[in-house]
């Protein structure tokens, strides 16, 4: 199954994230190395306050656990997050 994790960042996320960036990136890279996280990144202007992470996992709970364990969520860099199942219809290299 594919899931999208939406991160809505706090208004002061750019300064707030600095002390936690290395820990956050290690968390993200670990999920990618396990094959759970396929893509992650920020939306471009004017919506730089939103990030999307694409997961390929069996259970939604895996994505929810990832978010709850993320230092950015714990420290308020991410103000809100949500998970949505994504049913892929067309594409190569995604199945």
We report the CATH number of the domain holding residue 20 as: 3.30.70.1060
Residue 69 is part of which domain span? 2-78
Domains of the chain: total: 1
Measure the CA–CA gap between 48 and 9, rounded to whole angstroms. Answer: 9
Q: Is residue 24 part of a domain?
A: yes
Q: State residue 26's pLDDT score.
A: 98
Region of poorest pLDDT, from 38-42, 46-50, 82-86:
46-50
Q: pLDDT (tens digit, 9 = 90+) per residue, 57-77?
A: 999 999 999 999 999 999 999
Q: pLDDT (tens digit, 9 = 90+) per residue, 4-32?
A: 999 999 999 999 999 999 999 999 999 99
Look at residues 75, 7, 88, 86 and name the one whose alpha carbon lies nearest to residue 43: 7
Q: Is residue 73 part of a domain?
A: yes
Measure the CA–CA gap between 54 and 19, rounded to whole angstroms. Answer: 25
Q: Is residue 94 part of a domain?
A: no
User: Residue 76 region, left (φ>0) first, then alpha (ψ -120 to 50), else beta?
Assistant: left
């Amino acid at each position: 199954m594919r899931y999208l994790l939406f991160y809505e960042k706090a208004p002061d996320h750019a300064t707030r994230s600095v002390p936690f960036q290395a820990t956050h990136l290690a968390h993200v890279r670990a999920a990618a190395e396990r094959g759970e996280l396929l893509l992650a990144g920020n939306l471009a202007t004017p919506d730089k306050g939103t990030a999307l992470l694409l997961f390929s996992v069996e259970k939604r709970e895996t994505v929810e656990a990832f978010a709850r364990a993320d230092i950015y969520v714990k420290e308020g860099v991410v103000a809100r997050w949500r998970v949505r199942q994504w049913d892929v219809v067309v594409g190569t290299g995604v199945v």
